[in-house]
Amino acid sequence: MQIIFVHHSCFLVEVDDKVLIFDYFDGDKVDGWHFTGRLPHYKPDTKIYMFASHSHKDHFDLDILRWTEEYPEIKYIFSNQIRISPNFLKRHGIQPQVREKVQFVSADNNYKVDDIEITTLRSTDAGVAFYINTNGVSIFHAGDLNDWEWEGAGDLINGRMRRSFRHEIKKISDKPLNIAFFPLDPRLGEHEFDGIDFFVKNTNAEYVFPMHMWQDYSKIKDFKRRLTNRQAAERVIEIERENQSFAFEENY
């Protein structure tokens, strides 16, 4: 199994004959940022599954729906918060029938796309998080599910956020989990580690890839140093750059 950190919250997972891609967007779509991650090219008949947790520009790019021309086998799994009506697609020069390749998902539900089993969690921001089982591998992509404790938001709002976040994570606390992609956002200041710390300590995630770091990868080492449990720290993968690849033996 190969994992590629493309950029920001976008990861690509190659599992046997499948390619799973999470929250991809073109690197110049977010104002003020330039992300350099690029996706590999595959054979036209490759089984590609594109996941989009919600519609924010740093998680979703409408242009991925044009990829059906290059990859006729491609399928999409989108949060139903992403609105793409036939008329909307026409206005953007995309064939409306592309919508037939999209499985829209809502929070707190179970789905099956081919032989991929998908369970959705409710995000504390927008859309959903994905818990996935396929080919004997369990994967979690949090999207924007995090403990978003913002300075100045107040104890009432931040307390409600924390409770909602922990409620969602506890839904998968006892589930098998090989690979997890989870936010570590430096914009949260002194609270940047709150969410990922709870996640690492309250799930069975074998490997945790931090994401949503806005190109500041130094925070990963800072977080690992804070973990008193060395085994827990070793589960957190250090990312250094965009387009970085990680290979794992498929011994699950």
Nearest-angstrom CA–CA distance, 243 and 225? 25
Tell me how many domains the chain contains.
1
Q: What is the CATH number of the domain that holds 55?
A: 3.60.15.10
Is 124 inside any structural domain?
yes
Summarize pLDDT for 39-74 with one digit per residue, the tens.
999 999 999 999 999 999 999 999 999 999 999 999
Q: Does residue 101 carry a pLDDT above 90?
A: yes
Q: Does residue 248 carry a pLDDT above 90?
A: no
Q: Does residue 118 carry a pLDDT above 70?
A: yes
For residue 186, give its domain range.
2-247
Q: What does the pLDDT average to over 159-174?
A: 96
Is 252 inside any structural domain?
no
Q: What does the pLDDT average to over 115-123?
A: 98
Q: Does residue 252 carry a pLDDT above 60?
A: no
Q: How confident is the model at residue 251 (pLDDT cuts 50, 70, 90)?
A: low
Q: What does the pLDDT average to over 111-132?
A: 98
Is 92 inside any structural domain?
yes
Q: Does residue 103 carry a pLDDT above 80?
A: yes
Query: How many Cβ atoms from other residues are within 10 Å of residue 193's Cβ?
Result: 20
Summarize pLDDT for 142-158 with one digit per residue, the tens.
999 999 998 888 889 99
Is 190 inside any structural domain?
yes
Q: How confident is the model at residue 23 (pLDDT cuts 50, 70, 90)?
A: very high
Q: What is the pTM of this model?
A: 0.96
**86: which DSSP letter?**
H
Share of the chain above pLDDT 70, in %: 99
Strand order from edge to edge, sheet including 128-134: 110-113, 116-122, 128-134, 137-141, 179-183, 207-211
Task: Please tell me the predicted confidence (pLDDT) of residue 249.
Answer: 76
Summarize pLDDT for 204-223 with one digit per residue, the tens.
999 999 999 999 999 999 99
User: What angle, rounded to 10 degrees, do the helices at 218-226 and 194-202 form?
Assistant: 60
Q: Does residue 16 carry a pLDDT above 80?
A: yes
Q: Does residue 187 carry a pLDDT above 60?
A: yes
Nearest-angstrom CA–CA distance, 145 and 53? 10
